[in-house]
Structures are given as C-alpha cells and as structure tokens.
Amino acid sequence: MKTKVALTGNEAVAQAMKQINPDVVAAYPITPQTEIVQIFSSFVANGEVDTEFVAVESEHSAMSAAIGAAAGGARAMTATSSQGLALMFEVVYIAASLRLPIVFPVVNRALSGPINIHCDHSDAMGLRDSGVIQLFSENAQEAYDNMIQAVRIAEHPDVRLPVMVNMDGFITSHAMDVLEVIDDETVKNFVGTYVPEDYLLDAQNPISMGNFDMYDFYFEHKRQQVEAMKAAKEVIKEVGKEFAKISGREYGLIESYKLDDADVALVVLNSAAGTAKGVADELRAKGIKAGVLKPRVYRPFPQEEIREALKGVKAVAVLDRAETFSTCGGPMFADIRNTLYDLKNDIKVVNYIYGLGGRDLRLEHVQQVFEDLENIRKTGRVDETVKYLGLRE
Amino acid sequence: MATLKELSKVEERFVGGHRLCAGCGHGITVRMILNAAEGSNVVVGCATGCLEVASTIYPYTAWKCSFIHNAFENAGATISGVEAAYKALKKKGKVNGDFKFIAFGGDGGTYDIGLQSLSGAMERGHNIVYVCLDNEAYMNTGIQRSSATPTGADTTTSPAGKVIPGKQQPRKDLTAIMAAHNIPYVAQTAINNWQDVHKKAKKALEVEGPAFINVLSPCPRGWRYNTPDIVEITKLAVETRFWPLFEVENGKWKLNYKPKKYVPIEEFLKPQGRFRHLFKPGNEHLIKAIQEEVDSRWLALLERCGETPELPPR
Ligand SMILES: Cc1ncc(C[n+]2csc(CCOP(=O)(O)OP(=O)(O)O)c2C)c(N)n1
Ligand code: SF4
Ligand SMILES: [Mg+2]
C-alpha cells in the first residue's frame, strides 16, 4: 500500500528509519540533520521502534558506536552533516574496512571555515575516497527511497559496506514535499532481517576484529574493498529493480534525462538536477537538444553507464557543489572528464562550481551554462574550462 | 575470594604468541582482569596502543574471546556500541548466553585523546567495564609524555634537557575524574597485589552499569628499570603512596591499602632510568617537590576516604 504524504526531507528520512526499525542508532545533532535525530528519538521514546538509541557525545563517537554495534551483529545507523561528517572522517574509513553495513544519511552542508550551515557537497566529497557507497537524492522521495534500498545494498553478502545517503541541506531536508510512502509491513519485508556473517556476539565463534594489518595483508584487504565496490554496482541495480516492484519507482546508478539525442548535457548531483531538468525542457521547446545526467551513485563511480549515456553529446558541463582547490576544477569534473577520455571522440567537458555555502542556483545560471555549451558546440572552442556560477568576482 | 591456585586453572582468554615486550605490565593486567570474568562470555574492546598492536597482528590473535579494535580515541564509544547491540539483540532472542563488556585503553588512549569518548560512555550508563592500562606515557609510539606522566619523568617529548628537567606538570587525577561521573564503581589498583586486582575486577564486572578501573601497568622499556623487577617496582609505587589503592563504590571512597611506614619517593624513582637526572647533585629540590606532591595528594585522598589525614610514621 502506498500513501501520498507531505513531508520534509528530514521527516521522510526519519520515517524510513522508523520503518527499517534498526537495532541500534547512535547519533548527534547538527544543523541541518538535527531533525532526523530528534524525530527518531521521539519514535524511541514513544515505543514506535525497538531501537537502542545511543545519544553519544560526538559524531566521532556516533560512528564509533555504530561500528561497535554493527560488529556486534546489529543493524546499526547514524546520521550527520558537515562538521559532524568531518569529525567522523577517521572512523568512516574503519567502518568501510571492517565491512560493516552501516547506513547513514548525510544532510549535505558546507564545511567550515568560515562556518556556514547551508548546502554544498564539500562534506560528502571529503569522504568520497573512504570506501563507503554514496547515494545522492534529488528530493525527499528519493531520500526516502534511497534509505530503504541502502539497507539491502549495504547488507548484501557481495557488498557488506557502509552506505551514505545524501540529500541537500535545507533545500531538501527542510522543504515540504509531497511524496509516496510505502506501508510499514512492505518495507519490513523488503529490508528483511539482518543476518551478520561473523560478529562479536556469536558466543560459539569468538572473533577478533580490527587487527593490526601489515604490508603482508593490508594491500590485499584494500583490493577486496575494491571488489566489493565493483559488486555493489550490480547489487544496486538489482535492488533498484526489486524496489520498483513495491514502489513503482525504479532506480539505477544514474538517471539519464533526455540524453538519447542530446547535443549538450549537464551533469549534476542532488536537488540541482531538478532545476537542470526544468531548464532542459524549456530549451528543448526551443529546439535545443539539451539533456541532464544525474549520478544517483557517486561511489562506486558508474563510469560505464555515464560513458554510454554521454557518448553522443558534443559538449558537457559538470556542475560541482564543492571545490577541490586543485585549481583544476571540482571533484566530479575530474571523474567525468576521465570517464569520457577513452571515447576519444573529442567531447568538450567544462566545469562550473556553484552553490557553495548555500548560494542559490538560479534558472538563469543553468540557462547560461547551456548557452555556453551551445557556443562550445558551434565553435568547437573552450575559452575557460572552469567557471563559477552566481559568484561576485 | 579465589586462591591463586584456583585462578591458575581458569581458562586463559589472553594467550601466548602476542608480541608485547618480555615483562610488559599489560599482559599481566589483562590476564588478571579477564580471569575475573570467568563464567561469562566477554567482548573486549581495545584502543590503539601497545596491547592492540602486539596482540592482533593479522592473521593472528592472542584473544580467545571476541575482540574489537576500532581506533585510538574511541574504545569507550566502540564498546558502548557493542553493548547497545547486545541489549537490542538480547531482547529479540538473537544472542545466546550472557556477555560482559570490557574495554582496555592505555593512558594516552584514556587520560588524553579518548577522555571524551570514555566520559560519554560512562555518563550514558552502559553496562561496561573500562580498564586503563596506565604505563604513564605513549609507549607504542616511543615513550612520549601523556597527562598521566609523572612530574620530572624523562620522555621523548618531555626530555630531561639542560634547562628543563623532564615533565613539568603533575599527573592528571583520572581516577577522581571518573569518580566524579557518579558511576557505580571506580577503582585504582596495581599488579603487585593480585588479590586487589582480582577483587576489583570482579566488583566492576558485577555492578549494574559502568565501572572504571585504573591499573598501574609498568613498562620496562619506557620506565627503564630492571625488567624482572616489575612486581617490586609496582610495590614501591604503592608503598611510597605514589599510586594509592582505593575504590569508590556508589560514591563512597574507600582506601584499600595503607603503608605501615613512610617510604620516601626516592625509593620508587631511583631504580628507573626515566628519573635518573633527578638524582644529579643540585636537583634535590626537584625530588623534594615530587615528594610534596605525593604527600599532599595522599592527605587529600585520606580525607576523601574518611580517614585521619596523616602521613605514615617515619
Ligand atoms: C588519532 C591518532 N593519533 C595518534 C595515533 C598514534 N598513536 C598510536 S598508539 C599511541 C600511543 C599509545 O599510548 P597509550 O595509550 O598510553 O598506550 P601504550 O602504548 O602506552 O600502552 C599513539 C600516539 C593514532 N593511532 N591515532
Ligand atoms: S614498550 Fe612497554 S608497554 Fe609497550 S609492549 Fe614494551 S613493555 Fe609493554
Ligand atoms: Mg601508555
């Protein structure tokens, strides 16, 4: 059974967590994620979930306790944003290397300094190389859907990795949206019960976890993580297909929007994809063949799918909501350009940094990007590879 | 109270093959603590440090019970997560048998970088025992000072130099800080007195809620005493009142051992290379200051324990 409801992104994620009913949640408040822990605490206080809620004293401890709980054999979760994720940095890597299926929403917010509470993706990008799976969500519906699928992806025997579910701070987390929620029983059956493989609380089979790993094994263990990431691509697609059966919404690694015959395309994560799709529609009406590619999965990186989706376009703009300070563009730009390199068909790829610290991405900005792409397509010339949108220079 | 003979028959959960230095206090402490958990399943949490690095070199392990090392500063949070998992899974009938949860951290992992994580775990009231293996410095990284390092000690980051004679600050009183958490059980013990360690470990494991034990766990390498003398050196720490044995049960402070006579601090300092510079002519005032610190802390402790605040007879 499906019901249409009006919820904010945070409420939608908390609702998903309630339906998943994890064994342990350890979390700490931070804007704009705070509502998730607050709402979830009230579920615990009102007996609406069976969860042991650990109100830790920091995000480092939140992830550390989630690691302890997951290693103990429990289905464990946490949630955070920005500084909280930065504080967790050390232990997120450990969660991944211990192959613990911890699902954690991250409500994307700019990293300090200067301190700022609004949306950008610098928090998530800081952990893109940590070995966790990263899903991105355009709106509350996708955040809700991603949370439910994340449990199945994380716990799949071929994967066993943490999954970070991203959504845009305030834009998605605090805006009221209409979405379809699935009934409790269907979600419960979909996520199933967690069956850990080796775990601390197995009285018959004690185990040592987190051992000291030297040059004779560390490398192989890292390689195994890569294999798990590779396997995750298939698993994410399978889970997406199964999810379609209970929701009517199918998910893959990327969303291709009007790319089949596109000349110019934009690549963008999370909520800005909505804006981009709207502008592409307008341009299509004017005869410009515009399309949008929205990676739903950023780690593992869906290189083949993206290459396939973009192989026919002439010019691509990658929109990054994070800086790398490499002076060569944003994080996703490097990935996309790398992806298209092997095609050897001279697709022009340019980069726009936008929205840092919550700066609005306006329709005019996106229109300008498409206009630039059209010029590049016509002239075959790129004047500036990396530009900034909506910035006072 | 079990006899030593009986205890020797308890199945060891921390076994040979680990690579702690010969005569390291950590191995002795861990075995004593785990012995007291006889009859229960145990999950051990461990902070980064000599114990973890020496006992879990992949693909080997010296632990016969379940063991988890996460990072340096989060043994408190990690073990509280395991305990929360236990509560959740026990309710659902998914765990066989009863479990005890013991975390081990060095003084660095406990007094310093892990203090917040430990404090949080204690305040939240998890049913766990946290044991600090206090060897008074960061030994695993090569003997750097910690807030547990005693005044005057020569470490690699508080070296005894031409103008600064070793560590300048007094030790942090972590055991008192833990007592201030108003948890059911806090104790300070030392391995020269196995009965004391055993009794305290048993109490800590039996109370409902969090317990903390601070164990003086000598490191022959960092302290630079004659390795086989570990029991003697620990005994001197207790007899000189440098490391008093006490416990705080439900807020009530109790002294567990009162030396019969006044043993000057020199007796503890002298056999150790880390204090050698203090015995150079002209440095008498430094030892005097250390003695004063020991005496004033002792008197304050006696008062807390409801004893007459007086020094032992000379
Ligand atoms: C966050 C972090 N900082 C520093 C280190 C390096 N480090 C590992 S063990 C250690 C010292 C351990 O000292 P202590 O806790 O006293 O244990 P001991 O080795 O003395 O038993 C240090 C500094 C680390 N592993 N992690
Ligand atoms: S350096 Fe010290 S603490 Fe570390 S193993 Fe050797 S004796 Fe033990
Ligand atoms: Mg130490």
B168 Cα–ligand 3 center, Å: 18
In angstroms, the CA B89 to CA B87 distance is: 6
Q: Sheet containing A290-295: which strands, arranged edge to edge?
A: A254-257, A290-295, A264-267, A315-320, A348-353, A386-388
pLDDT at B163: 96
Q: Determine contact, residues B103/B183, Cβ cutoff 8 Å.
A: no
DSSP A100: -
A247 touches chain B (CB under 8 A): no
For residue B26, the ligand 1 atom closest to its alpha carbon is 21
For residue B105, the ligand 1 atom closest to its alpha carbon is 15
Domain segments of chain B as ranges? 10-304
Are A210 and B56 within 8 A, CB to CB? yes
Task: Check pocket membership of B146 for ligand 1, CB cut-off 6 A.
Answer: yes
Question: How do residues A72-120 score in pLDDT, each as one tens digit?
Answer: 999 999 999 999 999 999 999 999 999 999 999 999 999 999 999 999 9
For residue B19, the ligand 2 atom closest to its alpha carbon is 5
Question: How do residues A243-302 score in pLDDT, each as one tens digit?
Answer: 999 999 999 999 999 999 999 999 999 999 999 999 999 999 999 999 999 999 999 999
B53 touches chain A (CB under 8 A): yes
Task: Check pocket membership of B135 for ligand 2, CB cut-off 6 A.
Answer: yes
Identity of the residue in A50, A66, A211 whose CB atom sits nearest the CB atom of B91: A50
Identity of the residue in B56, B70, B99 whose CB atom sits nearest the CB atom of A68: B70
Which residues does chain B have with pLDDT short of 70? none
Amino acid present at B240: T
Q: Determine contact, residues B44/B67, Cβ cutoff 8 Å.
A: yes
CATH architecture of B10-304: 3-Layer(aba) Sandwich (3.40)
Beta strands A52-55; A103-108: pairing state: unpaired
pLDDT at B2: 80
| Stated pTM of the model | 0.98
Give the list of residues 6+ apart from residue A131 with CB closer than 8 angstroms, or none.
A93, A96, A97, A161, A162, A225, A229
B241: left (phi over 0), alpha (psi -120 to 50) or beta: left
% helix, strand, coil for chain B, step of 5: 40, 15, 45
Are A24 and B78 within 8 A, CB to CB? no
* DSSP structure string for A246-306: HHS----SEEEES-TT-SEEEE--TTHHHHHHHHHHHHHHTT--EEEEEESEEES--HHHH
Q: Which two tokens stand for residue B96?
A: 């066989």
Give the domains, in start order, of chain A with CATH numbers.
2-247 (3.40.50.970), 254-389 (3.40.50.920)
Are B87 and A52 within 8 A, CB to CB? yes
Q: What is the pLDDT along chain A (393 residues), one digit of tens a residue?
A: 899 999 999 999 999 999 999 999 999 999 999 999 999 999 999 999 999 999 999 999 999 999 999 999 999 999 999 999 999 999 999 999 999 999 999 999 999 999 999 999 999 999 999 999 999 999 999 999 999 999 999 999 999 999 999 999 999 999 999 999 999 999 999 999 999 999 999 999 999 999 999 999 999 999 999 999 999 999 999 999 999 999 999 999 999 999 999 999 999 999 999 999 999 999 999 999 999 999 999 999 999 999 999 999 999 999 999 999 999 999 999 999 999 999 998 999 999 999 999 999 999 999 999 999 999 999 999 999 999 999 998
Nearest CA among A317, A61, A183 for reference residue B70: A61
Which chain A residues have a beta carbon less than 8 Å from that of B53?
A: 212
Question: How do residues B181-193 score in pLDDT, each as one tens digit?
Answer: 999 999 999 999 9
Residue nearest to atom 3 of ligand 2 (CA): B219
In angstroms, the CA A5 to CA B44 distance is: 46
In angstroms, the CA B85 to CA B94 distance is: 10
Q: Which two tokens stand for residue B90?
A: 């026990």
B135 Cα–ligand 3 center, Å: 5
B133 Cα–ligand 2 center, Å: 11
